[in-house]
Structure 1
Amino acid sequence: MTKCYQPEIRFSSLSRRKITADFTGGDLTSDAGLLLLRECDRRLGLSHAVADVVNDPRRISSVAHQAEQLVRQRLLAIAAGYEDLNDHDQLRFDTVLQAGCQRTKTLASTATLCRFEQGQDRSVAVELHKVLLDQFIVRHSKPPRRLIL
């Protein structure tokens, strides 16, 4: 039998919610890795950098989901294997994905995500490539000896 030497793993909190991984049961999920990705995203600032370059023509006063939240929701869902937008009809209520997106309320609907994605153009795609390249360069103090694409 495998022994667990660490009784719980604590993640950064979300509002007044304490987020921990423990091995005693309770609410179970197969997507707990999203909490680790949330921590990585907070350190790297990838969702924030992507949100800075996407088109968002919506009126800010009537927006329920900020662009950064939409980007983070989509990135985390794809990382968890939910690449189709229609998955978000159910995922928007998933508490682990909500915590990963730093929200305590229901996430964006399939329709909202679809409109957001369809509002992007070729110039945004070019800018997104630049964001990824910049993220790569910043993470290396010296160029890697080999780069396999």
Structure 2
Amino acid sequence: MKTECPPEQLEFDNVGRRKLVAAFDGEHISSDGGLALLHRRDQRFGLLRKFAECFKDLRKPELIEHTVEELVRQRVFGIACGYEDVVDHETLRNDPLLAAVVGKSEPQRQPLASPSTLNRLELTPADATAQARYRKVVYDSQAIENFFVDAFLDAHPVPLREVVLDLDATDDPIHGTQEGRFFHGYYGNSCYLPLYLFAGNFLLCARLRTQA
């Protein structure tokens, strides 16, 4: 029995001025088609734009190649597709669909951020200043905490009569010499043991603890 693929294209919402479609005749392709759906949801609620506002950019404007929002979108979309390690972006930075949903208008000429650039986003200390040599994108921990709570409240147009909070800890195994690691006897390995605060399916807070 011969299988025939339909010639029609699958159309999604536009990304800026670019038309986003799924076809079966492309050469430079992406294997993460779910990004189109994630992008559509993000466009509706603007979560990543709001999350990017929790960072302060101390870089010189004339030297910026990747905006904070682009860096945040690249990292979050990558994690959502199962690429937890920053090193994965050495290849992902050339993915045409990821570039489109991040906001690059010409992905062939404008590759996404490299792993070293994304590291600067994630590892910049909270007290960094504009005089720092490399790490100048500073996170605001209080703003990030407020972001999770605000997202939870915005998801309920009608105020909830009751909110039940659930606190739980989950081990995150460590396979290197990361700062803050410790050995946990119950899990039998070196790990982080973050404490999570949930309201139903919504994550409201995550606290990294360095000891059991």
Q: State how many pairs are aligned.
A: 148
Q: Which runs of 5+ in 2 are unaligned?
A: 128-138, 165-198, 202-212
Matching of residue 119 in structure 1 with residue 119 in structure 2: no
Matching of residue 67 in structure 1 with residue 83 in structure 2: no
The CA RMSD over aligned residues, in Å, is 2.9
Q: Deviations over 1:24-43 (max 9, x none)?
A: 45355331101111111111
How high is the sequence identity, in percent, across the aligned residues? Answer: 35
Inter-CA distance 55–31: structure 2 relative to 1 (3 Å threshold): same
Tell me the secondary structure at the aligned position of residue 77 of structure 1: helix
Could you tell me which residue of structure 1 aligns to residue 32 of structure 2?
31
Runs of 4+ in structure 1 off by over 4 angstroms are 1-5, 144-147
- TM-score if structure 2 supplies the norm length? 0.60
For the 8 Å contact 2:12–2:36, the answer to whether it is kept is yes
Tell me the secondary structure at the aligned position of residue 57 of structure 2: coil
Distance 2:30 2:93 in 1: 15
Q: Which runs of 5+ in 1 are unaligned?
A: none
Inter-CA distance 120–132: structure 2 relative to 1 (3 Å threshold): farther
- Give the strand-richer structure, 1 or 2: 2
Distance 2:157 2:15 in 1: 33
Q: CA deviation at 1:126?
A: 3.2
Distance 2:76 2:10 in 1: 23
Q: Deviations over 1:104-126 (max 9, x none)?
A: 32101111110111125397233
- TM-score if structure 1 supplies the norm length? 0.83
Indicate the structure (1 or 2) with the bigger Cα radius of gyration: 2
Higher relative contact order (CA 8 A, sep 6+): 1
Residue in structure 1 matching 2:114, options 109, 113, 122? 109
